[in-house]
Each structure stands twice: as C-alpha cells, then as structure tokens.
Amino acid sequence: MKARKVLNSSNGRGLVAQARSEELQKSANKNQPRGGKSSMKRTLVVALVLVLGVSLLAGCKPVAKQPVTFVFAKGDAVELDPADVTDGESVTVMNNIFEGLVRYKSGSTEVEPCLATSWDTSSDGLVWTFHLRKNVKFQDGTPFNADAVVFSYERQRDPNHAFHQYGKWEYWGWCFSEIAKTEKVDDSTVKITLSQPFAPFLSTMAMFTMDVVSPTNCNQWKDQWFSHPVGTGPFSFVEWVKGDHVTLEKNPNYWGTEPQIDKLIFRVIDDPSSRYLALQKGEVQGMEFPNPTDLPKITQDSNLVVLSAPGLNVGYLAMNMGADTPGFQKPFGDVRVRQAINYAINKKDIVDQLYKGTATPAVNPIPPTLWGYNDAVQDYSYNPAKAKELLTAAGYPKGFKTNLWAMPVSRPYMFDPKAIATAIQADLKQVGIDAEIVTYDWGTYLKKTEAGEQAMCLLGWTGDYADPDDFLYVLLDSDAAKVGSAGNVAFYRNPTVHALNKEAQMTTDFNKRVELYKQVQQIVHDDAPWVPLAYATQTLVFAKNVKGFVLYPTGDYHFDTVSFETSK
Amino acid sequence: MKYYIAKRAINVLLIVFAVSIIIFLLIRLAPGDPAITMAGEHASAETLAQMRTKWGLDKPVIVQYFIWLGHALRGDFGQSILTHQSVLVELVQRFPNTLELSIFAMAFATIIGVLAGIVSAVKRYSFLDYTSMIIALFGVSMPVFWLAIMLIMVFSIRFDLLPTGGRLGVMYSIKPLTHLYLLDSLLELNFPAFLDALKHLILPSLALGTIPMAFVARVTRSSMLDVMSQDYIRTARSKGLNEKAVVIKHALRNALIPIITASGTEFAMLMGGAVLTETIFSWPGLGTYIVQAVSARDYPAVQGAVIFVASMVALVNLIVDIFYSYVDPRIRYE
C-alpha cells in the first residue's frame, strides 16, 4: 500500500523514477518478441506490401482491351443546353451531342440538310416549311418529331411556355427575333413563320441555338436539364465532372455515319502551356488554342500536326463618319482622308509582329472563309507617301490631331488592342496625324462607341452564323447606325449599300445574294469607313496519328469523322 | 473553456458578416457587369437592360444586399449567373478538391519544414543549416507557376514518372461520395484508382507546399533556437538524457506553439485556393472557381465563394487556438 501511495504522488522523485524503471522492465518483457506473434506480423506486412505492389503494377499497365478513346484538351463548358449557351467552350461539346434541322457542310459555310431533309419557302418569304427526317431517335430512345422541334424553339420564344423560366435564351433575342411562331403541321412537318422575310434565316438555322432537344428529357430534369443533355447527334452524354472533364460515348443508334471512336473525352485544361505539356506526353490527343509563344516549338515537333484557318471574325479600325454624333471630327467626312489612313497603316507588320502569326491581314469586312467573299477587291497597300498626297489634296498637308479608342480587354479577334493601337498611332504619326489613345472599361467602351463619342476606334466581330448579312448588315448598314445603340460604329450610311443589303435579305436565290454582297464589299472598300485589320485564325494541334478532323470556319468542332491511324 | 469557444464562434460570425458586406460592395465597384461580359459586342442598350432586369441588377445596391442576405441566411447563396447552378452546390463540389490538395501540401510542408528547422537549429551554423535555409529561401522566392512547370517538365515529360495534371487519369472513374478521391477510392476498394489519384497529387502538392515549407522551416528553426537556449534544456542534458530525447521530448514540445501558429496560418491561406498551382495542374479547385467568377462578374458566385473561404479560414484559426491548450497545459482560456 505504501508503495502504491508513493507511486501515485508526484513527490519523492527518486522513488518515482525507480518505480518507473520497474514498469519499463515489465513492459519490455511483454514486448519481447515471442516466436509466433511477430512472424505472423511479419507475414502480414509482407503480404500487404505485395498487394500494394501488385496494384501499383496493375495501375501502371494499361488494360488490354480499351475502347478507342480520343481525349481533347480545352476550357471547361459553362452549361450543356445548346439554346442557352453563349460561350464557345460549351458550344464545342454541344455540337457533338445535338443537331439542328440544317447544318454546315463539312469544313464550309454552306448549309445542307440534317434533321430536315428538305424545305420550302412561301412566295412572300415569310413561311418556311421543313420536312423532317423520319426514323430518327433521341439518345434516350424517344422519337424525334415535330413536337420536339416545336418544344425546342417555342420554349425560347414564348415567355408563357412552361420551360421558358429555366433559361436565359440570350441568342434568341440576338439572332432569332424575326421568328413569330413555330408550329407542327404533322409528325414530320414543321412550319416556321417569320415576321419579315429574312434570307439569312437558313444560315441562322444551322446555329447551335436551333439544335433540337429531347422534350421528354427536359421535362424530366426541369431546371437541372443543363447537366443532362440528350440530343440526336453522333455522341451521347455520359458524365460531366465540372472543371475536370466531359465524357461522351458513341451513339449506337445514330441515324448518320457511325463515329469511328468509342469514347470522346473533353479534358479541361485552361492554361495553354499546360495543354501543350499534356499533348507532348500523350495524355491528350488534340488541343485548341496553343500559346502563340509555344507555336514555333510546336511546328517543329514532328509528332504533332498544326491545323489552322481564319475564323469567322474580323478586327478593324472604324472611323466615325456620323456628323450627328458627339465624337465626329470633320476630316473623317472626307473619303480621301479615310483612304489616306488606309494607306498609312502597315497592316502586314501589325499582323506579323503583334498577332504573332495567329492572324491574316484583312481586306474585306467578311473573312475569306465565308461564301460571298470578294477576292477581286484590291487592298490598300502600305504607302505613306500616297497617304500624305491624299491628305494634302483633302486640305490637311500637316495632318491633324485626333483620338484613337482601344479596348481594355483581350478579344478573340484582337489579342492585345493596346499594342495594336500604339502601332497604328506610330504609323499615323509618320503622315502627320497625331492620335491620342483613349480607353474605358469594356462596358463603358461599348456604350460610348455605340453613341459615337469617338473619332476612331478599334473593334471587331465574331460571326454567329455563316452569312455575310451577319457582318455587312449588322456592322455597316445605315439601319445599324442609330446613335446610342449602333453596331455600325463607323456610322457609315450609304443608301446604295443599304438597298443592296435589304435586297440580299429578301431574296433566297443564293447566287443572286453572292452577287449583291460582292458589290457591297467593293463599295465599302472604295468608301473606306474602316481599315480592316485582321482575321484571327483558329489554331488546333493534334497528335500525328489523328486523322479526319475538319476545321469549320465557324469554329465548330465535330469529332464524328475522327479516327486514329493504326500504327505502321 | 466552453465559454471561450462560444465567444470565439460569435466572433467568427461577425467577421463573416462584415466580409459579406465588404465583398458585396467591392465586386460591384469593379467596372463592367455580368450583362456586358456575356453580351460582348452583341450588347445594345435594350439587351443589356433586359438582362439586368432578369438578374435583379437594376435595383439599388442596398436592396440587392438585403435580398441576398435574406436568402443566404436560409442557406440559399443564389444561382451562378454563368452556369445557372446553385452556388452552394458548386462550392461544395469544388471545396474537397482544394481540401485534398491543401492537406497534402501542408503535410509535405510541415514534415519537411519541421525536420529542416530542427536540423538547422540543432546543428546551427553547420553545412546542413545553411543548405536548409538556402533551400527554404529558394522555395519562398521561386514563382509558384514556374516551379510547377519545371516539376512537370522534369518529372512528367523528361522522366515520365508522373502525370502532367488533373486529379485522375481518364480511364479511371471513382464514385464521388466525399469528392476526396483518395478516400472515395479506398471506400470503393478501387486500388488502381487510389494509386492514380495519389500520383496526381504528388507534383501539385510539391509545388504548392514549397512556400509553406520554407516558412515553417524558418519558424521552427528560430523557435527551436529560442527554446534550446533555455535553462531547463541544460538541466535535461545534465540529467543524462540523450540528445534525441532532449530535442524531441523537451525542446520541440515547447517550441511547438509558434510552429503550430505558422502551419495553421499557412493551411488557412491554402484553403483560399491556390490559383496559380490549380491553373498549371488543371486542378478544379476553389481558386480557379473564384478567378473565373470574378472575370465573368458572376456576383452571386464571387460572394458565396469569398464568404465560404472566410468561414473556412476563421474555422481553421479557431481549431488551431483550441489545439494550443492540448499542446501547452499552461494555456487556459478565460
């Protein structure tokens, strides 16, 4: 008892120490390895190590029979409803799951039948009747028919539609406001009535906004529909791990040509240099938008193939001709001054040095990949002497002072507006024009330029649908030159151009429209409201053994034609 | 003790509330708004007005704040303008990614940092001391994204040991229960996936943990030096205890407080999401989420995310404070 007391108290250090060492002795004896127990422990440890080792190897070696998988590196999608998205990353995924009544021909801007086999227009151009393809099923097994088409379109247009509340449907307001109604005629016929004739309508119908969605699926998921897309396209949706990847797989019941890959995975890699690293390592087989500084290395890499083509965009310098706008300056009312500025700017240098090979110099307001491009138009050469001549003829031998507005943000058609503005400023100085660079935050910039507060400004446009109307009417028609909401920031009002644009909107004769738009481009060139600067190219990089990918001018990616070349 | 925790908890709530007001105002002070960002060149005055009404951006700021507060108190942080998903759901999905990475980075930072610090302190002015401190300086000075790319180029491309990024290889699939891939794969007994997830964690943790490691090493070193010069260490040595026991049982234990403070602070900062590391390694964490939300002026998402992060930081600090009392019985909270 005494000993216990001593042990429990903290007095008497010496005794405590002694008792402790006795305890240590006892526990040491207990831990003395007895034959059986420790060898069992040892075997257990060895077994565990073996299991881990085997699974490590199992993880390293690829499984023998894998589905043919293609992995593409890009940014993350925002949502997966084709009618509600506004960003390119989401559209890319949509283009492989969904289809519309018509689509763009492979690698072109011309339209061909897709879910509709044919169509007729009424004589006044207001009623379009589409004959739908028969025996097509959605990926959830439900049939594709007129009801589905009506659902897909009316939910965007009609605020009273049951599904309208689940989306913002921005593109409907921007591009489809002339559609008055979509109606079912019978199971395979749909009638779309326009409020006014609009020839580009067929081109707009090829946009992702008009893809047909499964009504059954929408009604099942309601507001969560954005993460569970079901369409009629070559690939079905499997899963979307936000920020990580989107997985699609081959649609076995696809009505068209079966895709040659079984699994299509979009891997999210936001940083362009990281994409390149993953491509080098073989973790992905394709990627979009490499870093311009990585491009030289990529082109030298014999294991990679670079595909590039001008996109459906244009970057330009607009000169304000609107005498009724606050920013108007007298010199710009004279065509000689505007032409002089065209001659003064060294476009090629700007494209080579500042765009660093990611663009081609622009001649017309529409890019060369768009049908109707007038390649007979002669661009203004870089000729400062001629510029000075014209300025003197116009009455400005010593030049004049003005301002040049530049965007504060990087745009798809102009990576670094500030740098480009500085280069233009230097070019103009050479001919005596003293331009002060002005900038505002992006929202304010758009508002003010739409109100004509600038003398000259940089701007650009990425086409939504592949029709010259989307450029020539939206950006250069007098209808678009309303002070305060102008898309035509040069406030260029030419009645001939307007008449031509309007005629091209009314007639559905393709060849006639080509003629009309070619005339518009020549007139615009001669009047020089702009200095068209560049068409930004879209650049994609693929592994050498990837075959069959076609670059669409609209920037759509379609992977149903992609296959791997079997190794030699 | 309980009284102390309660007081601290109320403190945390007040801090979070203040943060919510500040961030609400700050993000709206930034030029541009979600309508312009989405519409771009399509924006005409009418479309913008329509979009703003749809998102309730046309009401005065104070009204907007109270509407938001009302919803937030009921657990509804609103819908992301960009993705139309519930902000809270998105945060809950993203946070475990950052958590897993932070835990690993801190584990690396603490273990290596403390070891380096102890070695430096014990063998002061020796070659080991200078080497560790130079490595620590290197770690703190190198830009994280450069370090990350270097690690990828060496270990992933040149030596083909580890993947270049992401959380998991495309051929593996794990059922997301907790979204912590290591845990989820073990729960499923999916060992190949477990190992693959582990491989994906190594490089980002190294890159991310280097700065905290340097910081922890320095703090450990100075704290240990401070403690080792105390009298009771001299007594322990004269008692006959071997050096290892002196250093670990006595010196380290007493030097821990500043080390825990440093580690806790670093961990709290990592919870905010490490944007640069996440970008290079395509790690879908909170950092990239916040940056994307700010770029798009996605007000509800930015608010929800910032408040979430602020709460996490405050929580981590609270836990660290409580932890002190276990480490040092002398510390009692009144």
Q: Do A281 and B82 touch (CB under 8 A)?
A: no
Distance (Å) of CA A163 to CA A149, A157, A223: 14, 10, 9
**What's the N-to-C CA distance of chain B in angstroms?**
7
Q: Using CA atoms, how far apart are residues B292 and B287, in angstroms rounded to an integer? A: 9
Dist. CA B2–CA A552, nearest whole Å: 66
Q: Which residue of B has its CA nearest to A274?
A: B280
* Per-residue model confidence (pLDDT) at position A507: 87
| C-alpha span between A70 and A320 (Å, rounded) | 49
- Kindly state whether A154 is in contact with chain B, defined as any CB-CB distance less than 8 angstroms: no
Residue B280 contacts A where some CB pair is shorter than 8 Å: yes
The reported pTM is: 0.80
| CB interface of A with B, residues 77-106, below 8 Å | 78-79, 84, 86
| pLDDT for the residue numbered B1 | 63
DSSP code string of A271-289: SHHHHHHHHHHTS-SEEE-
Separation between Cα atoms, residue B62 and residue B25, nearest integer Å: 9
Whether B153 has its CB under 8 Å from any CB of chain A: the answer is yes
pLDDT in tens, B96-105: 999 999 999 9
Radius of gyration of chain B (CA): 24
Strand order in the sheet with A127-132: A116-121, A127-132, A189-194, A179-186
Minimum distance, in Å, between the CA of residue B167 and any CA atom of chain A? 8
Closest in A66, A78, A446 to B43, CB measured? A446
List of E strands, chain B? none
Please indicate if any CB of chain B lies within 8 Å of the CB of A522.
Answer: no
How confident is the model at residue B12, as a pLDDT? 83
Supply the DSSP symbol for B60.
-
A283–B163 CB contact, under 8 Å:
yes
Nearest-Å Rg of the Cα atoms of chain A is: 33
- Which residues in chain A are contacts of B169 at CB distance < 8 A? 283
Q: Which tokens in the block code for residue B123? A: 């063998």
Per the CB < 8 Å rule, is B85 touching A226?
A: yes
What DSSP designation does A8 have? H
pLDDT, tens digit, for every residue of A468-502?
Answer: 999 999 999 999 898 887 889 999 999 999 999 99
A-facing residues of B in 13-42 (CB < 8 A) are 31-33, 36-42
Query: E strands within A371-423?
Result: 401-405
Q: Does A281 touch chain B (CB under 8 A)?
A: yes
Does B166 contact chain A (CB < 8 Å)?
yes
Closest by Cα among A552, A546, A554, A556 to A68: A546
Residues of B whose CB is below 8 A from A461:
41
The answer to whether the CB atoms of A281 and B192 lie below 8 A apart is no
Q: What are phi and psi of A516, to 5 degrees?
A: -60, -45
Q: Assess A277–B contact: CB distance below 8 Å, yes or no.
A: yes
Integer Cα distance of A557 and A554 in angstroms: 9
Q: Is A66 part of the contact surface with chain B (CB cutoff 8 Å)?
A: yes
What are the φ and ψ backbone dihedral angles of A183, each rounded to 5 degrees?
-130, 150
Examine the predicted complex and report whether its ipTM is higher than 0.90.
no
Contact B156 A277 (CB under 8 A): yes
Answer yes or no: do B41 and A461 touch at CB < 8 A. yes
A271 chain-B contacts, CB cut-off 8 A: 279-280, 282
Residue A38, pLDDT score: 59
Which of B157, B196, B279 lies closest to A271 in CB terms?
B279
Chain B: residue whose CA lies nearest to A410: B40
Q: Among A66, A273, A442, select the one facing B36 at the smallest CB separation.
A: A442
Q: What DSSP character marks residue A30?
A: H
DSSP B198-209: HHHHHHHHHHHH
Question: A-chain residues within 8 Å CB-CB of B171?
Answer: 62-63, 66, 69
CB contact under 8 A, A443 and B32: yes
- Partner A, chain B 259-278, Cβ-Cβ below 8 Å: none
- Contact list, A484 vs chain B (CB under 8 Å): 45
- Tell me the C-alpha to C-alpha distance, in Å, between residue B236 and each of B115, B128, B231: 21, 25, 9
What gap in Å lies between CA A296 and CA A309, rounded to an integer? 17
Could B165 and A269 be called an inter-chain contact, meaning their C-beta atoms sit closer than 8 Å? yes
Instruction: Please give the pLDDT value at position B104.
Output: 92
Whole-number pLDDT of residue A263: 92
| A443–B33 C-beta distance less than 8 A | yes
As a whole number of angstroms, the distance between CA A22 and CA B56 comes to 77
Whether A59 and chain B come into contact, CB under 8 Å, resolves to yes
Written as tens digits, the pLDDT of chain B (334 aa) is 677 778 878 888 898 889 989 988 888 887 777 777 777 777 766 777 777 887 778 888 888 888 888 888 888 888 888 887 889 989 988 889 999 999 999 999 999 999 988 888 888 888 888 888 888 888 888 898 899 999 999 998 888 889 888 888 877 888 878 888 888 888 888 888 899 999 999 999 999 999 899 989 989 999 988 888 888 888 888 888 888 877 787 788 888 888 888 898 889 888 877 888 998 898 988 888 998 888 888 888 998 998 888 888 888 888 888 777 777 767 655 4
CB contact under 8 A, B288 and A280: no
Chain A contacts of B284, Cβ < 8 Å? 76, 241-244, 268
Q: For residue A3, what pLDDT is reported?
A: 40
CB A291 within 8 A of CB A540: no
pLDDT by residue (tens digit) across A258-293?
999 999 999 998 888 889 999 998 899 999 988 888
Residues B8 and B324: beta-carbon distance below 8 Å: no
Q: Tell whether A55 is within 8 A of chain B (Cβ).
A: yes
- Ranges of chain A with pLDDT below 70: 1-39, 45-66, 567-568
CB < 8 Å to B40, chain A: 411
Tokens 């102390």 label which residue? B4
Residue whose tokens read 């622009």: A362
Residue of A174, A244, A273 with shortest CB distance to B167: A244
**Neighboring chain A residues of B149 at a CB cutoff of 8 Å:** 273, 277
Q: What is the pLDDT of residues A23-34, one digit of tens each?
A: 445 444 444 444
| Contact predicate A367/A310, CB 8 Å | yes
Kind of pairing, strands A434-438 and A313-319? unpaired
By CA distance, what is B170's nearest residue in A? A265
- List Cα–Cα distances, B263 to A53, A133, A255, A305, B111, in angstroms: 33, 65, 60, 47, 11
CA distance B310 to chain A (A): 22
B130 Cα distance to chain centroid: 29
With an 8 Å Cβ cutoff, are A270 and B282 in contact? yes
Residue of A269, A465, A475 best to disrupt the B interface, most CBs of B under 10 A = A269
Residue B56 touches partner A, C-beta closer than 8 Å: no
3-state secondary structure of A319: strand
d(CA A440, nearest CA chain B) in Å? 9
